[in-house]
A and B are shown apart, each in its own frame.
Chain A
Amino acid sequence: MEINRLINGNLQRYTTAPSDTLLAVLRREGFFGAKFGGCKEGECGACAVLLDGRPVNSCSMLAAQAEGHRIETIEGIGQHPEQGWKKTSGLHPIQQAFVETGAVQCGYCTPAMVLAAKSLLEREPNPTETQVREVLSGVLCRCTGYLKPVQAVMRAAAYLRGEAVPPIDGSIEAPEGLFGEPGGGDAGLPNIGTPSGADTLTRVMPRISITPQAGAWTQVGKPEQKVDAVKLVQGKPAFTADLDMRGMLVAKVLHSPVAHARIKRIDTTKAKALDGVAAVLTYQDIPRVVYSTAGQSDPIPGPLDSFSLDSKVRFVGDRVAFVAAETEEIAYQALQLIEVEYEELPAIIDPADAMKPGAVRIHDEPEYVNFGDSNPEKNLAAELRIDIGDVEKGFAEADFIFEGDYEVPKVQQAHIEPHVAVTYWDEDDRLVIRTSTQVPFHTRRVLAPVLGLPMKRIRVIKPRIGGGFGGKQEILMEDVAAHLTIATRRPVIYEYTREEEFIAARSRHPMRVHMKTGVKRDGTITANEMYALSDTGAYGCHALTVTGNTGHKSMALYIGDGPYRESPNIRFYADVVYTNTPPSGAFRGYGVPQGYWPLDRHMEKIARELGLDPLDFRLKNAIRPGEYHPFSKSWSEGREPRPEIIHTVGLEQCVQQGKAVAGWDQKFHNPEWRSVPGKPHLRRGIGVAMVMQGTAIPYLDMGGASIKMNDDGSFNLLIGATDLGTGSDTVLGQMAAEVLGIPLEDLIVYSSDTDFTPFDKGAYASSTTYISGTAAVLAARKVAERIRVRAARMLNERGGPQVEADEIELADRKAIAPDGRFVTLVEVGHDSLHHTDQEQIMGVASYVSPSSPPPFAAQFAEVTVDIETGQVTVDKLVMAVDGGVIVNPVLASGQIEGGMTQALGYAVCEEMRYDDKGNALERDLVDYHIFRADEMPKLETLFIETFEPTHPFGVKAVAEIPMDGVAPAVGNAILDACGAQVDVNPTTPDRVWRALQSGNTGGFTRKEVR
C-alpha cells in the first residue's frame, strides 16, 4: 500500500505492507535513530519518535496508522555544528545538554530520550523533576541510572529559558574532613538539594576527594565530553544494525522447545521450498567443530563443549536450525516448516540434582575437551578447591562458629541493543563480521576454526555497542550469520529478539552458597569458608572463571586481624554444574556480586550476634595497604598464581565519608528514625556493605594502542579496546592527550577493527582504563619522545640557547623549552611529514600488567519496608568508591550510577525462573522488570581517590564494583528495618513477608566453641 508521511517536515510517499510497523519503515528509509530493542510489547522505548509532538513507540504502531500525522525523528532535531562551508544551527539544546552532562553512555536509547524531553519542554518549559522522570520513564536505559539524563533535561530546560547553568566542571571537592557534616546526614552538604532542585539537577559533577598527584593535570581528572557523544545524540547510524546492504538476508534460528533431547529426525524440505528462503542449515550441513563461546584469551580457561549446531539440544532455546530468507516474515514462516522429531531425555533443572548418582549426562559428546577439573561424567563444568592458610586450625582457634546458607539468582544483562551481527564477503573474499561485541579479537580467533577459515581471512568490526555488561563477552551468535553468508554468499543480518535474549543468550550464574566463619569474641575472624554450588546451565562458558571470582574477589576482603593478617585462613570450594537451562556467562561483576550477597549478609549477622558495630567489625578484618592479596598465592583464573601486594586501600575513607553522606550515625539503630509517622506498617532501615573488585587479569590480558601524528598537530589514537558505552574511548584519549599536551579534541579515537587497530583482549574484567589505558599512555610517550626530538632540533635551528629533547615539555599544543621558547605541534607535525627528514611520528605500545589492584567501596542503602506485605522500597543509595584516580569524574559517576541501578534490580526484582520443564517464565522486559526513570531511589556517588602506583596516572577501576554491594546493603537495611532475615536474593515482597512471618534466622547458626 502507498502511504503519505510527513517526516521531519517533509511529505513523502512510501510503500508499506499492512503489517509493517512504523519502526520497520523508518529504518528501511534510513531513519536509523529509531532503534530496535527486540521487544514485542514496546516496553523498551528505544524506537520512540514523536507523533504530533507525543513520544510513541514506533515498534508498537503500524506504519499505516501514522498517515496524516506529523512525525519527528532524531534526524530532524539537530546537526553537527561544523559542516565545512555549510552553516548549521548545531545541536538542539537538549542534545547539547545530553552531551555536556554525560547523559550519553552507550547512546542506544539516547535519541528516544532526547525526543521525549523535547515533547515535554515544548509544553512545559519549567518542568519539575517528577515531570522529567515521568516523560523519561517511557524509555528504558540500562547504562545511566537515569540521573544524568534527568540532569540533562533540566539543564536543557534552563538553556531554553535563557537561564545560566552551572559549569560542568564545577566540582564539589571534599573539605579537609568529611563530605557531610557529622550531625546532619544530608544536611550541610554543598550545593545539593536546594529547595527548587534546580542546582541539584543541573550540577553533574560527583563529590570527589582528589589525590595531590592529580592537581597539575589538564586532561586527566577533567569531565571531558564523551568523544562519541555528538554522533550518538544525533542518532547517527553508528550501531551494527544501522547498515543497509544490497541483497542482505535476514537470519532466524529455530530454538529447541525441549530441555534435553536428541534430534531423531529433522526435515527441512518444506522450509527450503518456501519462496524467499535462501538457506536452511542443520547440524547435518556444517562442520562439527567443538569450541567455547566464552570470549577469553587463549587458551580458553574452560571446557570446549559447544557446537554451532548439534544433533542434541540441551536447553529450551538451544539451536536446532538456521534460516536465511529475503524477509523476516519469510524466515519465521520457514522456521515453522522445519519438521523435527525429538527423542526426549531426562532434564536437570535444579543444580542440586546435577551431581546426584544416576543423573543424566548432559555432555556425552566425544569431542568434549576438559579444562582443569571439569568432568562431564559428573555434569561438572568446573571444580574449585582453594585453601589458604590452615582453615581447620583457624576454626579451632575461634570462640564462635557461624554458619549460614544463601542463594543468588540467575539474572539477565538486558542491554537495550540486542545481540546483532552482520556478515558479508568483501571484495577480497574475506569474511567481514560487523558485530556488537566486547571481544572482537577473541571473536576472530574463536570463529576461524568454526567457520573453516584461516584467521587472516576474517575481519571483525565493532561499531558502537548499545550496552553489553558482559553479555557480549561471548561469541554468541556471530557464527549463525557467518555460516549463512558462507552458504549463500550474501550479506546476512541476525538480530536477537528480546525473547531470544532471555532464552538463548547468557546470564549471571545463579549460586547456592554455604558460609562458615570462625570468630573470636573481639570480632577477629580466624577462618572463613565459602562453598558455592554454581549453575552454568547447558554449557560451561565462563564456568570456572566466574565462579572462581566469586571467591577470589569477595573472600579476599576479610582476612582477619592481628596474626591472621599475615596468615589468613580462607577456604573457597565450588562445584560448577551443568543443568538443562540456558547457559550462564559473563555479567558485569563476573561472579563477584554472587560472592558479596552471602559474604556481607553473613558479616552483618555475625556483627549483630556479637554486639559489634557492623562498620568496625568489617574494617577490623578488612585487608589493608601493603598486605598480600590472599588469593594471589593460590589461584589465578586457572593459571599459575603469582603473589601480589595490594598497594592502595581507600576502604576506611570510603566508610567515613560514605556514612557521613548517608547519615549513618543518625539513622542506624535509631528507633525514632525507623518508624514512619502515621504509617505503623512501615519501617525504615539503613544498611551497609563493603566490597572490593579487581582491575584486569594480571600476566594475561593485553591491550595495545597506536598513535600517529598528523600534519595539523592532531593525532589518531587506534585502540583495540572496545568501548561498550562506558566512555573508555574518551578516558583513554584523555590519558594520551595528557601525555601529548593537547586537548582531547585534537585526538581522533577509533576502536575497534581487527584489521586496523592493535590487538586488545576486549572490554571485560574492569581492565580497559588500566590495561588499555596504560598502552595508550606508553604509545603517547613514544610519540611525545619523537616530538621532543624534532622540536628541540627545530628550536635549535632557530638560534638561541641550545635545548635538549628531554628538556622539552609538551603542553597547550606546544613543545616548550625551559626558557619559554616553543614550536607548536602544528609546526612539528607539518615539518615531520613535509619538510625536514620526513618521518611518520608514530608510537605503538602494548601492556600486560603484573598487578590487579582492587578498587574498594562502601555501599549504603536506605529502605522502607511494609511489614504487612513485605514490600520493600529502596529510598536511597550512597556509594563511596576508591577507584584510584578518576580520569573523568562525570563519566565515572555515570558508571557508578548505572551500576548501582543494575545492582538495585539484582537486589529487589530481577530473577530468571524456569518451570519444571525448563521453560523460561520471563521472556520480556515486562515480566522481567528493570528500573525505570520514575521509580528510582536517590543516588549519590562519592569518589575517594587513592594513587595506585602501578599505573601511570594512578587509576584502578570503577566499572564493575557498583554491582557488588547494593544487594547485601539492601538486605542488611531490611534486617535493620524490621528484623527480617532474607537470605535468598532478590528480596521480593513474598520472601520478606515469609521471613517476617517465620521470625527465625533462616539457616544462620551460631555455635560457641570456646
Chain B
Amino acid sequence: MIIAYHRPASVDEALALINRTEPETLPLGGGTVLSRPGPGRYAVVDLQSLGLNKIERQGATLVIGAAATLQDLYARADIQEALREAIRRETTYNLRQSASVAGALVSADGKSPFAAAMLALGAVLVWAPDGRETPLAQYYDGVSARTQGLILRVAIPVDAELRYEAIAKTPADVPILCGAVGRLANGLQNVVLGGIGDAPMLVRSQTGGLEGIELANAVENVFSNAYSQYGNQNSSNSDYLKPTSAILLRRLTGDLPGRAG
C-alpha cells in the first residue's frame, strides 16, 4: 500500500527520497505497476517532473529518458520496426500511454517482448547519480536481486538491425516463446529467447552468426540453465519449447545480412 506520494523537482531530491531506509521508497514511472493494490507499505517518488521523459538521438544512439512512455518510444520514426512490434506486443495501447520505458524493463517477466528486443539491441541502463552504466543483459543476469536505485536513461543503438518473432496463441496474446536477434554495428550479434525464465535470456552474444548445431546446443544450454534456475516451471512443455525455440531462432538468424560465414 502506498503511504506517501512525492513528486520531486530534481534528481537529487528524488535520490534522497529513494535512498532513505524508512519508509521504503520506490521510483514511480507511469504507475502501471506500483498503483496496483498489494502487500507492503511504501512511499513512491513520481519521476514526471525530473525531465526524464525525453528521447534524444545522440549520434547512433537513442537515449531514452527513464520516464519516457512506451508510446513515446513507439512513435519514434528512428526505431527499428521490430522494436515497434515488440512494444506493440508488450501491453495494451492504453497502458503504453503511461507505462515508462524503464519501468517496463524493470518489471518485465520472461515473456516480455519489449525486454527481449531491448536485450537483443544491447540496451544499457544509466543510473543516478553518477551515470553508472549497466548492460541490460547484466541487469537481468541477476534477476533475483535486480539492482535497486534510480534509472536515468536507457540507451540503444539506432543503427543496429533487429528482428523479433514470437509464437503465441493469438497475434496479441502473451507469447509462449519470443525471440529477438540484434546485430550491432560492430558485428556483435545478440540472440535472445523469451518465455522460459523470469527474464528473457541472452542465448548468445558473439560476432558472427550461429549455425545449426551451434544454435541447437545454445538453446539446449539455455533450457538447462533456465530449468535449474527457475525450477522446471515449463518442463512439462519442453518437448515443444525446445525444438520450436530453435526454429524461432533459426528463422531470426537465418538470413541476417552480413552474418559471418
Interface residues of A (CB under 8 A from B): 1, 18-19, 21, 40-43, 45, 48, 51, 54-57, 59-62, 64-65, 67, 116, 134-139, 329, 332, 866, 868-871, 873, 908-909, 926-927, 929, 931-932, 934-935, 986, 988-990, 993-994
Q: What is the minimal beta-carbon distance from A939 to any residue of chain B, in angstroms?
A: 15
Instruction: Please tell me the number of chain B residues within 8 Å of chain A, measured between CB atoms.
Output: 42
For residue B69, which residue of chain A has the nearest CB? A54
Q: Tell me, in angstroms, the Cα distance from A57 to B30 when the chains sit together.
A: 11
User: Which positions 168-200 of chain B face chain A at CB distance < 8 Å?
Assistant: 168-174, 176
B98–A929 touching, CB < 8 Å:
no
Report whether B94 and A57 are in contact in the complex, using a CB–CB cutoff of 8 Å. yes
Q: Verify B31–A989 contact, CB threshold 8 A.
A: no
B167 pairs with A62, CB closer than 8 A: no
The residues of B that contact A40 with a CB separation of less than 8 Å are 36-37
The contact of A139 among B94, B168, B169, by CB within 8 Å, is: B94
Q: Tell me which residues across on chain B come within 8 A of A134, comparing CB atoms.
A: 88, 93
Is B93 in contact with A332, judged by CB distance below 8 angstroms? no
Residue in contact with B168 in the complex, picked from A45, A137, A871, CB distance below 8 Å = A871
Complex interface: chain B residues within 8 A of A59 (CB): 35
Q: Is the CB of A65 within 8 A of B167?
A: no
Whether the pair B92, A932 counts as a contact (CB closer than 8 A) is yes
Q: Could you tell me the distance between the alpha carbons of A136 and B93 in the complex, rounded to whole angstroms?
A: 8
Task: Tell whether, in the assembled complex, residue B92 and residue A138 are in contact, meaning their CB atoms are under 8 Å apart.
Answer: yes
Contact A927 B174 (CB under 8 A): yes
CB-CB under 8 A from B94, the residues of chain A are 42, 45, 48, 55-57, 116, 138-139
6 A-B interface contacts by CB (under 8 A):
A42-B92, A62-B46, A866-B167, A868-B244, A927-B174, A986-B169
Q: How distant is the Cα of A231 from the Cα of B30 in the complex, in angstroms?
A: 32
Taking a contact as CB atoms under 8 Å apart, the answer to whether A909 and B7 are in contact is: no
Contact A993 B244 (CB under 8 A): yes
B115 in contact (CB, < 8 A): no
Q: A40-B36, A56-B94, A57-B98 are in contact. Are A929 and B170 (CB under 8 A)?
A: yes
In contact, A908 and B5 (Cβ under 8 angstroms): no
Interface residues of B in 158-173 (CB under 8 A from A): 167-173
Q: Does B205 contact A (CB under 8 A)?
A: no
The answer to whether B256 has its CB under 8 Å from any CB of chain A is no
Which of B4, B5, B172 has the most A CB atoms < 10 Å from its CB? Answer: B5
A-B contacts counted at CB < 8 A amount to 138
Q: How many angstroms from the CA of A65 to the CA of B99 in the assembled complex?
A: 13
Bound complex: CA A509 to CA B71 (Å) = 40
What residues of A have a CB within 8 angstroms of the CB of B167 in the complex?
866, 869-871, 989
- Contact A62/B35 with A57-B95, A116-B93 known, Cβ cut-off 8 Å: yes
Q: Is B11 an interface residue (CB 8 A)?
A: no
The interface residues of chain A lying within 8 Å CB-to-CB of B19 are: none
Q: What distance in Å separates the Cβ of A814 from its nearest Cβ neighbour in chain B?
A: 51
Interchain CB contact under 8 A, B95 and A926: no
The complex places the Cα of A422 from the Cα of B181 at a distance, in Å, of 53
CB distance B240 to A993 under 8 Å? yes
The answer on a CB contact under 8 Å between A65 and B46 is yes
Give complex CA distance A994, B237 in Å.
11
Q: How far is the CB of A582 from chain B (nearest CB, A)?
A: 22
Determine whether the beta carbon of B31 is less than 8 Å from that of A62. yes
CB pair A60–B98 under 8 Å, yes or no, is yes
Report, nearest first, the 7 A-B pairs whose CB atoms are least far apart.
A138-B94, A138-B93, A909-B169, A935-B171, A19-B2, A18-B5, A929-B173
Q: Does B1 interact with chain A (Cβ within 8 Å)? A: yes
Q: Does B48 contact A (CB under 8 A)?
A: yes
Q: A870 near B98 (CB under 8 angstroms)? A: no
A116–B71 alpha-carbon span in the complex (Å): 14
Cβ of B171 and Cβ of A60 under 8 Å apart? no
Of the listed residues B92, B94, B95, the one surrounded by the most CB atoms of chain A closer than 10 A to its CB is B94
Q: How far is the CA of A993 from the CA of B167 in the complex (A)?
A: 12
Is B248 an interface residue when CB atoms closer than 8 A count as contact?
yes
**Complex contact B1–A329 (CB within 8 A):** yes
Let me know if B174 and A926 touch, CB within 8 A. Answer: yes
**Pair B44/A869 contact, Cβ less than 8 Å:** no
Whether B172 and A934, one on each chain, are in contact in the complex, defined by CB atoms closer than 8 angstroms, is yes
- Cβ–Cβ < 8 Å partners of B1 in chain A: 19, 329
In the complex, whether B32 has a CB less than 8 A from a CB of chain A is yes
Chain B neighbourhood of A55, CB < 8 A: 93-94, 97
Contacts of B171 in A (CB 8 A): 873, 934-935
| Nearest chain B CB to A592 CB, angstrom units | 23
For B260, what are the chain A residues with a Cβ–Cβ distance below 8 Å? Answer: none
Question: With a CB–CB cut-off of 8 A, which chain B residues contact A18?
Answer: 2-5, 43-44
Residues of A within 8 A of B95 (CB): 42-43, 57, 60, 138
Residue of B with least CB distance to A905? B170
Q: Which of B4, B7, B97, B169 contacts A54 (CB 8 A)?
A: B97
Whole-angstrom CA separation of A570 from B34 in the bound complex: 58
Across the interface, do B173 and A990 meet the contact criterion of CB distance under 8 Å? no
Q: For A990, list chain B residues within 8 Å (CB).
A: 176, 237, 240
Q: How far is the CA of A1 from the CA of B34 in the complex (A)?
A: 18
> Is the pair A909, B93 in contact by a Cβ cutoff of 8 Å?
no
- B residues within 8 A CB of A332? 37
Instruction: Report the bound CA distance from A990 to B36 in whole Å.
Output: 33
Q: How far is the CB of A25 from chain B (nearest CB, A)?
A: 12
Which of chain B's residues have a CB closer than 8 A to the CB of A993? 240, 244
Report yes or no: B93 in contact with A135, Cβ–Cβ below 8 A.
Answer: yes
Residue numbers in B under 8 Å from A873 (CB-CB): 171
Residues in B with CB closer than 8 Å to A21 are: 35
Bound CA–CA A932/B171 (angstroms): 9
List B43-79 residues whose CB lies under 8 Å from chain A: 43-44, 46, 48, 71
Name the residue of chain A whose CB is nearest to the CB of B49: A68
List residues of chain A with CB within 8 A of the CB of B96: 138
B247 at interface by CB-CB < 8 Å: yes
| Contact residues in A for B240 (Cβ distance below 8 Å) | 870, 989-990, 993-994
CB-CB under 8 A from B32, the residues of chain A are 41-42, 57, 60-61
Q: Give the distance in Å from the alpha carbon of A994 to the alpha carbon of B240 in the complex.
A: 8
Q: Which residues of A contact B46 (CB under 8 A)?
A: 62, 64-65
Cβ contacts under 8 Å, B31 to chain A: 60-62, 65
B4 contacts A869, C-beta separation under 8 Å? no
- Taking CB atoms, residues of chain B closer than 8 Å to A935 are 170-172
CA distance A40 to B35 in the complex (A): 9
With a cutoff of 8 Å between Cβ atoms, the chain A residues found around residue B176 in the complex are 989-990
Please name all residues of chain A whose beta carbon is closer than 8 Å to the beta carbon of B37 when the two chains form the complex. Answer: 19, 40, 329, 332
- The residue that A931 contacts in the complex, of B35, B88, B170, with Cβ under 8 A, is B170
Which residues of chain B have C-beta atoms less than 8 A from A43's C-beta? 92, 95
Please determine whether A45 and B172 come into contact, CB atoms closer than 8 angstroms: no
Task: Kindly list 15 other residue pairs between chains A and B, CB separation below 8 angstroms, not including A61-B35, A62-B34, A134-B88.
Answer: A18-B5, A42-B92, A55-B97, A56-B94, A64-B7, A65-B46, A67-B7, A138-B94, A138-B96, A329-B1, A332-B37, A868-B244, A871-B167, A909-B173, A932-B172
85-120 of chain B: CB within 8 A of chain A: 88, 92-98
Smallest CB gap from A927: residue in B = B174
Contacts of A989 in B (CB 8 A): 167-169, 176, 240, 244
CB distance from B8 to the nearest CB of A (A): 13
In the complex, which residues of chain B have a beta carbon less than 8 angstroms from the beta carbon of A927? Answer: 174
A870 to B176, CA, bound (A): 12
Complex partner residue of B44 from A1, A54, A62, CB under 8 angstroms:
A62
Complex Cα distance, B34 from A61, in Å, reads 8
State the Cβ distance, B128 to closest chain A Cβ, in Å. Answer: 20
Quick one: closest A residue to B98, CB to CB? A56
B:211-248 near A, CB below 8 Å: 237, 239-240, 244, 247-248
Once the chains bind, are B169 and A929 in contact (CB under 8 Å)?
A: yes
| Bound form: Cα–Cα A874–B115 in Å | 27
Alpha-carbon distance between A943 and B4 when the two chains are bound, in angstroms: 58
A1 touches which one: B5, B28, B93, B174 (CB < 8 A)? B5
What's the nearest-Cβ distance from chain B to residue A416, in Å? Answer: 13
Chain B residues, CB < 8 A from A62: 2, 5, 28, 31, 34-35, 44, 46
Question: Residue of A at shortest CB range from B97?
Answer: A54
A871 contacts across to B, CB distance below 8 A: 167-168
Point out the residues of chain B lying under 8 angstroms from A67, CB to CB: 7
Asked whether A929 and B172 contact (CB < 8 A) given A45-B92, A65-B48, the answer is: yes
